[in-house]
């Protein structure tokens, strides 16, 4: 299950990276301007939002099962084992928080900011503001997905290094 979670986190982070830093800039460079590239980019970001929500749900299920495997110390269990289990549970909860925050950002982007961009384009509203907000939402998702990937790529021993 851990490998699946790591794979999904890499897919989530890599998808946002490829879309935001390669595909969308290429669209605007090759399609001749915002009138053609804008709607295509919007559709790609919409797909990415839904992918992030789906991947996030599966990651939450995986992290929940990891967390349930960690248990509190039994009377005959050494205290070091219980401490490692408690640390693993705390790490799992923190990772779940990053997943939930990334999912929340995807929801706000898709059902809030994207709609404001469409409205601003049609009505002459503050398009620059809403594009900036959308960029922040995508950057936030990218950072959350990267944090989840980083945390899941940690050695399973529960030992953390100063680099973490």
Measured CA to CA in angstroms, residue 121 lies from 115, 118, 124, 130 at distances of: 10, 5, 6, 10
The answer to whether position 161 is within a domain reads no
- Res 69 pLDDT > 80: no
Q: Residue 92: give the domain boundaries.
A: 2-152
The answer to whether position 159 is within a domain reads no
- Res 149 pLDDT > 70: yes
Looking at the 3D structure of the chain, how many domains does it have?
1
pTM of the model: 0.83
Cα 89-147-102 angle, rounded to 5 deg: 95
The answer to whether position 162 is within a domain reads no
Q: Using pLDDT thresholds of 50, 70 and 90, give the confidence band for residue 157.
A: low
Which of 5-9, 81-85, 107-111, 140-144 is least confident?
Answer: 81-85
Nearest residue to 12 (alpha-carbon basis) of 47, 63, 37, 61 = 47
The answer to whether position 164 is within a domain reads no
pLDDT of residue 91: 83
pLDDT of residue 144: 98
The answer to whether position 157 is within a domain reads no
The answer to whether position 158 is within a domain reads no
The answer to whether position 124 is within a domain reads yes
The answer to whether position 160 is within a domain reads no
């Amino acid at each position: 299950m851990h490998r699946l979670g790591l794979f999904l986190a890499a897919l989530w982070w890599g998808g946002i990276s490829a879309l935001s830093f390669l595909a969308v800039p290429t669209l605007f460079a090759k399609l001749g301007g915002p009138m053609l590239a804008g709607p295509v980019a919007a559709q790609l970001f919409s797909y990415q939002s839904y992918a992030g929500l789906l991947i996030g749900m599966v990651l939450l299920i995986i992290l929940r099962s990891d967390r349930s495997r960690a248990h509190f110390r039994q009377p005959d269990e050494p205290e070091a084992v219980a401490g490692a289990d408690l640390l693993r549970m705390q790490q799992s909860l923190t990772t779940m928080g990053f997943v939930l925050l990334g999912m929340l950002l995807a929801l706000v982007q898709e059902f809030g900011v994207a709609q404001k961009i469409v409205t601003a384009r049609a009505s002459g509203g503050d398009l620059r503001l809403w594009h900036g907000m959308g960029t922040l939402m995508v950057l936030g998702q990218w950072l959350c997905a990267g944090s989840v990937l980083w945390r899941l790529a940690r050695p399973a021993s529960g030992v953390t290094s100063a680099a973490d």
